[in-house]
Amino acid sequence: MISLTGLNLILPQLIIALAAIIVMLSIAVKRCHRFTNLFTLLSFAAAAISVLYIPRGSFGVSSLFVVDGFGKFFTVLIACAGFVITLMSYHYLNAREKRNEEYYILLLLSSLGALTMVISNHFVSFFLSLEVLSVSLYALIGYLKEEPAGIESGIKYLVLAAVSSSFLLFGIALIYMQTGHLDLSGIAAGLSSSGEFSGVFIAGLAMVIVGIGFKMALVPFHLWTPDIYAGASAPVSAFVATVSKGAVFAFLLRLFYSTGGLENKNVWTVFTIIAVASMLFGNWLALRQQNIKRLLAYSSIGHLGYLMVAFLAITDRGMQAATFYLVVYFTGMLAAFGTVIYMSNKKGEALYIDDYRGLFWKKPWLAAIFTTVMLSLAGIPLTAGFLGKLYLLTAGTEVGIWLLVIVLVVSSGIGLFYYLRVVAVMFAGKNENEASSEPVIGKIFPHGLVLTLLFLLLLWFGVYPSSLLEIIQQIASVIR
């Protein structure tokens, strides 16, 4: 039973839910983009800060949620990402769309979905939060009415996501048949009592993997990603790349670590194949992209593949590596999309790599930031990406999953090609293209500020991450 005392445990989620309602009501009273934006910012900040008021330890909130260090960490991470995306959306929406207030309702709702997903401990709560996340995303992706590509990608995402949820549900139903439970601890208990994995259970897990793999855009369920990234507006793409994927990954960790599903050899092998394919295909397909958002889409497929290496290590170190890498990935992706937004103008986004030609000589700071982001995504030292990759390699090497480690190395080698290509273009000769001289959306405040902040974070995590590592080491062993 949920009691009022348990409410403080889900304070961040309550704040965001309340904020969504208030924004909705405020629109009915009076439209004011600035107020809505500020209010959204404040509620994200409040959600992040409210985590401090949650007592330490692991608490169940009814059987649906469990609030522990891991969940709290991801809550903060998602709230921060939401904060950054809200900040970056303001000028962008002003320039490209007339009615902007509903955007924030959708953003808050989808963040709510992500926030509840990371503390879910039950298939029902997982499914509900997944749908809250997805349904708001359908609308977010198609938000720009003037942009036909946006609507198209909205429909695409809608159909594919709905199909993948049905797969997920079918899988859940099969697991339910086998174990008689829908909560993760019950499933774990049911499994340990029956011993062997039955065929039905494995079939169920496989279908759950399809659903989750789709949300995380792992190969072979990745086909939607580049289209959605390219079609959606850049802030929404950033949201899909970070919050949506991160939250699902957090639940994946919880699901498989707490139920011990990975101990089955077949399941492990399936995941290994998925991870290898994601790393290789993601990076390989990114090579030929001229569109920077598609490039980032493929790159994110690769990065999720890297994360799977840590996931498959099934150790505390793997957990820590995954968590750390996810933080690094969030920072890098947000900064990358932030640069795309910064460079966009009223007509459209700076989609093509050529739009960045000679950027270094025009806007040295922006180019320096973007270079750092690219190097971080590529995993070059002095940036957070390197330590993230080091951590992943450590996790993989510890348990001797050599295949994955080697593939990780090879695919980061492939990755270097396209990251460097972007960097090289920025340092190449000046751009004669007229369009680039048009006023861009990015303003020093708040946009430049946010980018600088993310840039500093990338350097900070890359050079002196001790404090972050400490937090991660505290929270990351709780789950099992």
Partner 1 sequence: MTLVYIILILMFGGLISWIIAGKNSSLAKGIALLAVLADLVIIIGFWISVYDKFDLGSQQWLIDYRVEWMPQLGISFHLAMDGLSLLMTALALFLGAVSLIVSWNEISKNLGFYLFNALWLIAGIIGVFLSLDLILFYFFWEVMLVPMYFILAIWGHENRRYAGMKFFLFTQLSGLLMLIAIIALYFIHGKNSGQYTFDYFALIGTSLSAKTGLWLMCGFMIAFLVKLGIVPFHSWLPDAYTQSPTGGSILLAALMSKTAAYGMLRFVVPLFPEASKTFAPVAITLGVVSILYGAKLAYAQTDLKRMIAFSSMSHMGFIMVGIFSFQALSYQGTIIEMIAHGISITALFTVAGVIHARIQTRDMDQMGRFWEQVPKMGAITMIFVLATLGLPGLGNFVAEFLILTGAFKSNVTLTVLAALGLIASMIYALVILQKIFHGERRKEWKLTDLTPREVLAMGCLIVAIVWIGIYPQPVIKTAQPTVNSLEQNSNNTTFVNDTGPTNKMTLKNGDENMTMTRETSTFFLSLNKKGGGK
Partner 2 sequence: MPVNYYIFLSLALFAIGIVGVLIRRNAITFFMCIEIMLNAVNLLLVAFSKMHHAKQAATLATAGIDGQIFVFFIMVVAAAEVSVGLAIIVMLFRNVHSVNVNFLNRLKH
Chain positions contacting partner 2, by CB under 8 A: 123-124, 127-128, 131, 134-135, 138-139, 142, 145, 148-149, 151-156, 158-159, 162-163, 166, 169-170, 172-174, 176-177, 180-183, 227, 230-231, 291, 294
Distance CA 293, CA 283 (A): 14
- Among candidates 319, 303, 223, 221, which has minimal Cα distance to 270? 221
Q: Which is nearer to partner 2, 207 or 314 (CB)?
A: 207
Question: 416 is written with which tokens?
Answer: 């270097």
Question: Interface with partner 1 by CB under 8 A: which range of 62-70, 332-340, 345-353, 412-420?
Answer: 412-420
On whether the CB atoms of residues 172 and 186 are closer than 8 A, the answer is no
Distance CA 224, CA 189 (A): 36
Residue 427 interacts with partner 1 (CB under 8 A)?
Answer: yes
Q: Which does 220 bind (CB under 5 to 8 A by kind): partner 1, partner 2, none?
A: none
Residue 365 interacts with partner 1 (CB under 8 A)?
Answer: no
- Among candidates 135, 20, 8, 126, which has minimal Cα distance to 72? 8
Distance CA 16, CA 384 (A): 29
Integer CA distances (angstroms), 171 to 119, 175, 254, 258, 273, in order: 21, 6, 17, 18, 20
Q: Which does 409 bind (CB under 5 to 8 A by kind): partner 2, partner 1, none?
A: partner 1
Measured from the CB of residue 340, what is the shortest distance to partner 2 in angstroms? 17
Residue 413 interacts with partner 1 (CB under 8 A)?
Answer: yes
Q: Which does 456 bind (CB under 5 to 8 A by kind): partner 1, partner 2, none?
A: none
Question: Interface with partner 1 by CB under 8 A: which range of 132-140, 154-162, 291-299, 401-409?
Answer: 401-409
Distance CA 298, CA 319 (A): 24
Q: Which is nearer to partner 2, 62 or 315 (CB)?
A: 62
Per CB under 8 A, the list member of 271, 330, 386, 455 interacting with partner 1 is: 386
Q: Which does 427 bind (CB under 5 to 8 A by kind): partner 1, partner 2, none?
A: partner 1
Distance CA 344, CA 28 (A): 31
Residue 149 interacts with partner 1 (CB under 8 A)?
Answer: no
DSSP letter, residue 183: B
User: What per-residue string of b and e applies to 191-214 under the rule 16 or more CB within 10 Å gives b?
Assistant: beeeeebeeebbebbbbbbbbbbb
Residue type (1 letter), 469 = L
Residue 420 interacts with partner 1 (CB under 8 A)?
Answer: yes
Helices (H), 53-122: 69-96, 101-118
Residue 478 interacts with partner 1 (CB under 8 A)?
Answer: no
Return the number of other C-beta atoms located less than 10 Å from residue 417's C-beta. 13
Q: Which is nearer to partner 2, 128 or 414 (CB)?
A: 128
Residue 284 interacts with partner 1 (CB under 8 A)?
Answer: no
Q: Which does 469 bind (CB under 5 to 8 A by kind): partner 2, partner 1, none?
A: partner 1
Longest C-alpha distance within the chain, in Å? 70
Residue 390 interacts with partner 1 (CB under 8 A)?
Answer: yes
Q: Give the per-residue contact string, 454-473, with partner 1 (x = CB under 8 A; - = no).
A: ----------xxx--xx--x
Integer CA distances (angstroms), 4 to 14, 72, 120, 167, in order: 12, 19, 19, 36
Residue 188 interacts with partner 1 (CB under 8 A)?
Answer: no
Measured from the CB of residue 14, what is the shortest distance to partner 2 in angstroms? 20
